[in-house]
């Protein structure tokens, strides 16, 4: 019994703040489960985007994609930053996280209806369930951590008020929902800014960078799955063509290169303050959203080359080139520019984004885009082997 005692976990612990300089801080199994359940919702919204674009309903499908993806991303963000500061992994904590997991699964079940009928009732219900779990955690932190009580109370109060507004949003006329969606989204985004003004929560820079990197991996993996499923269906229907194989090869190059470029620089080195963290964290809405949209776009192009879509060549090409270009531009602003603000080679990334957009109007946009971003990744590898004059040796070691 004495040997087993150190491995027993108490069912309840006092919620204390984590040390933001804690060594070897890594994602927990619960956080990984949380991410995997969230990717179910990402897969649902990407699949619906694929069908909407392929059926020439992009004018309604794209706004629905941005709306539902916002709820998924923002709920994931809320828990991720809280866990970085207050994860104590006792029974009540795990149960509160399970509530949030249940909420995202409810949200995922309502994604098809949101796209088909513009009925956001189930997604808002799921979003509300997720918020209840997070509010409970913030109230617990407020009670147990007096030094940060004002911040925790602000988080809880802000989440409750904004969530009530989201519920009221459901009762508005359909034609006024989307304009007001942007307003409510801004209120949601303002809650952490307002709360952290009362005192910074002790989030861990390396832990946060790892968590965002892991979710990027999962979203890229979902893109691979979406494209693979589309290719498999075409092969099963005996519709394999040279164009299909070209799309598959180009898609693989795109996803692998996106991975390479994202992890080329360690974000934790410049996540040193809220001033740096807020733009970085908020910018990942476009990183995650564009990465998931790439998978949908590849599936659209499989439909197009097998003559199962109702869109033009340019529209099919844009389904891939636009999200890839957005990914590159946001990646440059978030990850590359903070390291090399004036380096000439860093400017190749936004330049490549412009080239990718131009490839929309070529005969083979997906393979050409794959070659372009693969070439960019190759340049990144070459440059990373040389020490930058302004870059300290320790930083270079971390990069490699």
pLDDT of residue 336: 76
Please tell me whether residue 334 adopts helix, strand or coil conformation: helix
pLDDT of residue 340: 59
Is residue 18 domain-resident? no
Sites in the chain below the pLDDT cut of 50:
1-6, 389-400
The dihedral over CA atoms of 100, 153, 284, 387, expressed in degrees to the nearest 10, equals: -120
Do 104 and 229 reside in the same domain of the chain? no
Distance in Å from the first CA to the final CA of the chain: 45
Is residue 377 domain-resident? yes
Is residue 17 domain-resident? no
Do 171 and 244 reside in the same domain of the chain? no
Do 88 and 192 reside in the same domain of the chain? yes
DSSP label of 388: -
Do 132 and 233 reside in the same domain of the chain? no
pLDDT of residue 342: 53
Q: How far apart are CA 135 and CA 114, in angstroms?
A: 26
- CATH for 246: 1.20.1410
Q: How far apart are CA 389 and CA 381, in angstroms?
A: 17
Is residue 323 domain-resident? yes
Is residue 20 domain-resident? no
pLDDT of residue 399: 40
pLDDT of residue 400: 37
Q: At what angle do helices 91-109 and 29-54 cross, to 10 degrees?
A: 10
Q: How far apart are CA 200 and CA 192, in angstroms?
A: 10
Do 221 and 148 reside in the same domain of the chain? no
Domain coverage including residue 359: 205-399
Do 156 and 238 reside in the same domain of the chain? no
Do 191 and 210 reside in the same domain of the chain? no
Is residue 172 domain-resident? yes
In this structure, are residues 85 and 201 in contact, taking their beta carbons and an 8 Å threshold?
yes
Do 150 and 281 reside in the same domain of the chain? no
Do 192 and 212 reside in the same domain of the chain? no
Which among 196, 220, 244 is the end of a domain? 196
- Both tokens of 173, joined, read 């006329």
pLDDT of residue 231: 85
**Looking up tokens 């619906």, which residue turns up?**
48
pLDDT of residue 13: 83
Is residue 131 domain-resident? yes
Q: How many domains does the chain have?
A: 2
User: How many helices (H) and strands (E) would you count in the chain?
Assistant: 14, 0
Which among 158, 174, 196 is the end of a domain? 196
- Taking residue 36's Cβ as centre, other Cβ atoms within 10 Å add up to 11
In this structure, are residues 126 and 110 in contact, taking their beta carbons and an 8 Å threshold?
yes
Please tell me whether residue 92 adopts helix, strand or coil conformation: helix
Do 258 and 348 reside in the same domain of the chain? yes
Do 236 and 297 reside in the same domain of the chain? yes
**Looking up tokens 């070529």, which residue turns up?**
362
pLDDT of residue 10: 77
């Amino acid at each position: 019994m004495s040997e087993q005692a150190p491995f027993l976990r108490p069912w309840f612990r006092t919620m204390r703040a984590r040390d933001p300089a804690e060594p070897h801080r890594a994602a927990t199994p619960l956080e990984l489960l949380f991410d995997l359940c969230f990717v179910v919702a990402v897969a649902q919204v990407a699949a619906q985007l694929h069908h909407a674009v392929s059926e020439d309903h992009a004018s309604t499908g794209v706004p629905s994609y941005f709306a539902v993806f916002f709820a998924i991303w923002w709920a994931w963000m809320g828990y991720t930053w809280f866990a970085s500061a207050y994860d104590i992994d006792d029974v009540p904590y795990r149960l509160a996280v399970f509530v949030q997991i249940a909420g995202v699964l409810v949200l995922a079940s309502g994604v098809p209806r949101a796209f088909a009928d513009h009925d956001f009732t189930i997604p808002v219900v799921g979003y509300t369930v997720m918020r209840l779990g997070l509010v409970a955690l913030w109230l617990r932190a407020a009670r147990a951590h007096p030094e940060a009580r004002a911040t925790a109370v602000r988080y809880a109060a802000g989440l409750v008020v904004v969530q009530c507004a989201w519920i009221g949003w459901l009762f508005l006329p359909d034609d006024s929902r989307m304009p007001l969606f942007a307003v409510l989204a801004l209120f949601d985004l303002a809650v952490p800014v307002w709360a952290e003004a009362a005192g910074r929560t002790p989030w861990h820079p390396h832990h946060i960078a790892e968590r965002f990197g892991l979710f990027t991996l999962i979203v890229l993996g979902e893109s691979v799955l979406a494209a693979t499923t589309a290719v498999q269906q075409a092969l099963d229907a005996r519709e394999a063509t040279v164009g299909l194989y070209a799309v598959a090869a180009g898609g693989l190059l795109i996803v692998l290169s996106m991975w390479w470029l994202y992890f080329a620089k360690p974000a934790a080195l410049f996540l040193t303050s809220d001033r740096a963290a807020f733009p970085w964290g908020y910018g990942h809405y476009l990183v995650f959203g564009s990465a998931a949209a790439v998978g949908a776009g590849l599936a659209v192009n499989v439909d197009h080359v097998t003559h199962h879509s109702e869109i033009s060549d340019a529209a099919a090409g844009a389904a891939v080139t636009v999200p890839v270009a957005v990914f590159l531009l946001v990646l440059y602003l978030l990850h590359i520019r903070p390291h090399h603000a004036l380096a000439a080679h860093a400017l190749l990334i936004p330049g490549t984004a412009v080239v990718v957009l131009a490839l929309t109007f070529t005969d083979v946009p997906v393979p050409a885009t794959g070659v372009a971003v693969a070439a960019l990744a190759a340049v990144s590898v070459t440059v990373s082997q040389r020490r930058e004059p302004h870059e300290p040796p320790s930083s270079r070691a971390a990069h490699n």
